[in-house]
Amino acid sequence: MVNDLLAGVNAGARPGKRGLYIADIVEMLQALTPEAAAAKLGRMADVRAVAVLDRPEFTAAAEVLALLPLPRAVHLVAQMAEDRAADVLAEMDEDVAGRIFGALSPEVRTSLRRLLAWPEDSAGGMMTTEFVAARVSASVADVLDLLRTVERSRETVYSVFLLDERGCLDATISLRRLIAAAPDSPAIDLARDRTPVTVTPATDREVVADLIRRHDLLALPVVDDAGRPLGIVTVDDVLDALVAEHTEDVQKFGGVEALGRPYLETGFFEMIRKRAGWLSVLFLSEMLTASAMQHYEDELARAVVLTLFIPLIMSSGGNSGSQATSLIIRALAMGQVRLRDWWRVALRELPAGMVLGAMLGTVGFIRITAWQALGLYDYGSHWVLIATTVSAGLVGIVTFGSLAGSMLPFLLQKLGFDPASASAPFVATLVDVTGLVIYFTIALAILSGTLL
């Protein structure tokens, strides 16, 4: 719910006698067992209980509501913000949700059914149907009167939809301009040459967030194909959506399927399931490294010294790859780079990888030389050739890592996947197999006739 500065429509959003903010009460209840939380919530005044239930941070809401006596649960759900009520009902056991739903008034049922039809991460799933609409012919005073009447029952009153005769969205006007205008002037004058930015219910939440951010909006109208308003997405829902996206992106980049709920509240086996998928896929792909190594078995047996640097070289490729991937994932998400820019990125990553690889290669060369010179380890009479192999391998693999890591998100986007699925482990695996081939090819070229 969009509250105002430090406050809300809702008396319950204020700290009560004991000076607790709703956010603090939510935190306190979250720490309790569902039964204890239900008991506490059951004793709260309606207005406060509703304010608590309205917070998306109160993830136990569905469970707690199910534990309350049915009439009380129905009474509270009916007063909740509709978008939140729909989310909570969707989370509930179907039986309980059905019983609560059946006891609600027909009007509430209709608008909840409309909200429940859309996935949670779409504009339809984020919107509330509690918007304020006036006729396009209304005067400023008419609209202000309307706002005064509905102020306590609407999620946001800072913007008003003006509808034409067919009920289609013609313009939106803002409360701030309304209060500054002459009362008898036509409200439409405050919105003269405007074409409202709108979305359809199916619009993805990332696009909604981006539009609200780009256009500095407090709310965004959701309209049907004919242009009739269905609901409104408010900036606070977008904040929550952005934070959820952030969490998903970090988890995906770490190679986990998004958990969707707090870590400690995720069941043990659910967590295993969300991790096992990617881990197994990566493991199976990484098995190719064993095959690659088998292919170079003879070389390995003849020059065991080469194996000493395999982890070092492979990890450097993976690291440069995951750097490049993280840069490109965000650049794509922010629209700073488009699909058609792939070649511009490739032309940057190729020299960048070479410079970084040359740096690491130099350090690697110095390391081998130093250990040899100081007598810390004996790489044999061909140590210069070995140092050269390792250095050249680093240049090759770091360059390949940067290039592969930067191109993978483009490829995924092109194939219709989320570029953010290009996780660090995914890139590392991709680079590992190729990296081994690069390393042994270079080794064969340099050491052939001496060690190999």
Please, which residue, 91 or 286, has the CB nearer to a second copy? Answer: 286
Distance of closest approach, residue 420 Cβ to a second copy, in angstroms = 8
Please, which residue, 88 or 314, has the CB nearer to a second copy? Answer: 314
Distance of closest approach, residue 339 Cβ to a second copy, in angstroms = 14
Distance of closest approach, residue 89 Cβ to a second copy, in angstroms = 21
Please, which residue, 101 or 440, has the CB nearer to a second copy? Answer: 440
Which of 379, 347, 344, 350 has its CA nearest to residue 364?
379
Q: Which amino acid is at 37?
A: A
Q: Which amino acid is at 151?
A: E
Distance of closest approach, residue 258 Cβ to a second copy, in angstroms = 10
Distance of closest approach, residue 277 Cβ to a second copy, in angstroms = 11
Please, which residue, 1 or 68, has the CB nearer to a second copy? Answer: 1
Please, which residue, 97 or 409, has the CB nearer to a second copy? Answer: 409
Torsions phi, psi of 183, nearest 5? -60, -35
Distance of closest approach, residue 111 Cβ to a second copy, in angstroms = 20
Distance of closest approach, residue 71 Cβ to a second copy, in angstroms = 28
Distance of closest approach, residue 310 Cβ to a second copy, in angstroms = 6
Please, which residue, 96 or 235, has the CB nearer to a second copy? Answer: 235
User: In this structure, is the dihedral angle defined by the CA atoms of residues 338, 341, 342 and 345, taken in order, positive or negative?
Assistant: negative
Please, which residue, 86 or 422, has the CB nearer to a second copy? Answer: 422
Residue reference for tokens 């064969």: 444
Please, which residue, 163 or 282, has the CB nearer to a second copy? Answer: 282
